[in-house]
């Protein structure tokens, strides 16, 4: 029997690539997004409307899936975006929106799907985090902290769900060419104002980050790792994928906080 997969943020990037890849490997995919017109037509990819900022929307989408299937075997929490802003310039609505999507969205979908997996005593939850969920960068404080939170959710859920035979994993991608810099970065206008006291930081760092994203790894690498996690019940709790993640995460483990910060400052030319 084909396994049922629910993927959030499926209209582009890693979500779209993973939906198509898993469908070609024999899975039934429910591709969740707010605008299903962006989902490619594929007999094994079923578009489903879901707004992860609304528990009602999430629950309704899950109910639709359960009308046709007795289980949701795999949940992939992929939806998210990045806010680029200094802390000083942050608007409260920007703070709330960043966490509402990247953190509370993950919790809402988990809350709706976990009871199904628990009753079936089987399931895999894969949270798409970021290597920035383990290291900080200026201008990305809210995105960083939201991904740190996703890592905490992953760690705690592993304990909660272990006895129900539900596995929980996170993937920490580096920079990937997924149109993220073009479609999924939201910039604060004050931070990017040429009169901002942070203008030198913005002018030196922002183009580098955007360039690294636009010239990053292929998202098929993430899709392949997701398949590996599904197929291997001994897969590690978290794994990195992509050049930047493989460079910085091991370094983060080996060095002191001060030495690691010095390396990041040198790499991104943040020493003034």
Q: Is 156 a catalytic residue?
A: no
Q: Which of 10, 11, 12, 146 is catalytic?
A: 11
Please measure the distance between the N-terminal and C-terminal CA atoms of the chain and give it in whole angstroms. Answer: 59
Among 131, 132, 112, 134, residue whose Cα is nearest residue 123: 112
Q: Which of 10, 19, 85, 129 is catalytic?
A: 129
Rounded (to 5) percent helix, strand, coil in the chain:
50, 20, 30
In angstroms, the CA 66 to CA 163 distance is 23
Q: Which residues neighbour 130 within 8 Å (Cβ) at sequence distance 6 or greater?
A: 143, 147, 172, 173
Q: Is 63 a catalytic residue?
A: no
Specify whether the CB–CB gap between 174 and 242 falls below 8 A.
Answer: yes
Q: Is 43 a catalytic residue?
A: no
Q: Which of 12, 85, 134, 143 is catalytic?
A: 143
Q: Is 204 a catalytic residue?
A: no
Q: Which residue has the tokens 């594929």?
A: 42
In angstroms, the CA 172 to CA 128 distance is 7
Q: Which of 19, 145, 146, 147 is catalytic?
A: 147
In angstroms, the CA 163 to CA 127 distance is 19
In angstroms, the CA 13 to CA 219 distance is 7
Burial of 35 per CB tally in 10 Å (0-12, 13-18, 19+)? exposed
Residues classed as catalytic: 11, 129, 143, 147
């Amino acid at each position: 029997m084909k396994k049922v997969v629910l993927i959030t943020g499926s209209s582009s990037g890693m979500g779209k690539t993973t939906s198509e890849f898993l469908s070609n490997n024999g899975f039934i995919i429910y591709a969740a997004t707010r605008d299903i017109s962006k989902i490619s037509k594929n007999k094994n990819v079923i578009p489903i409307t879901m707004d992860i900022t609304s528990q009602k929307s999430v629950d309704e989408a899950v109910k639709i899936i359960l009308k046709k299937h007795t289980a949701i075997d795999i949940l992939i929490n992929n939806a998210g975006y990045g806010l680029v802003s200094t802390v000083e310039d942050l608007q409260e609505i920007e703070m709330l929106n960043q966490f509402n999507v990247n953190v509370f969205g993950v919790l809402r979908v988990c809350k709706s799907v976990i009871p199904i997996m628990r009753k079936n005593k089987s399931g895999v939850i894969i949270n798409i985090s970021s290597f920035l969920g383990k290291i900080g960068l200026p201008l990305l404080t809210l995105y960083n902290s939201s991904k740190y939170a996703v890592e905490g959710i992953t760690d705690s859920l592993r304990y909660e769900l272990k006895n129900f035979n539900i596995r929980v994993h996170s993937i920490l991608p580096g920079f990937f060419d997924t149109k993220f810099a073009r479609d999924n970065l939201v910039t604060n206008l004050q931070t990017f104002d040429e009169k901002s006291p942070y203008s030198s930081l913005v002018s030196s760092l922002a183009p580098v980050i955007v360039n690294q994203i636009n010239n990053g790894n292929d998202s098929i690498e993430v899709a392949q790792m997701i398949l590996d996690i599904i197929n291997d019940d001994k897969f590690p709790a978290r794994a990195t994928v992509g050049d930047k993640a493989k460079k910085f995460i091991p370094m983060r483990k080996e060095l002191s906080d001060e030495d690691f910060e010095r390396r990041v400052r040198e790499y991104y030319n943040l020493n003034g």
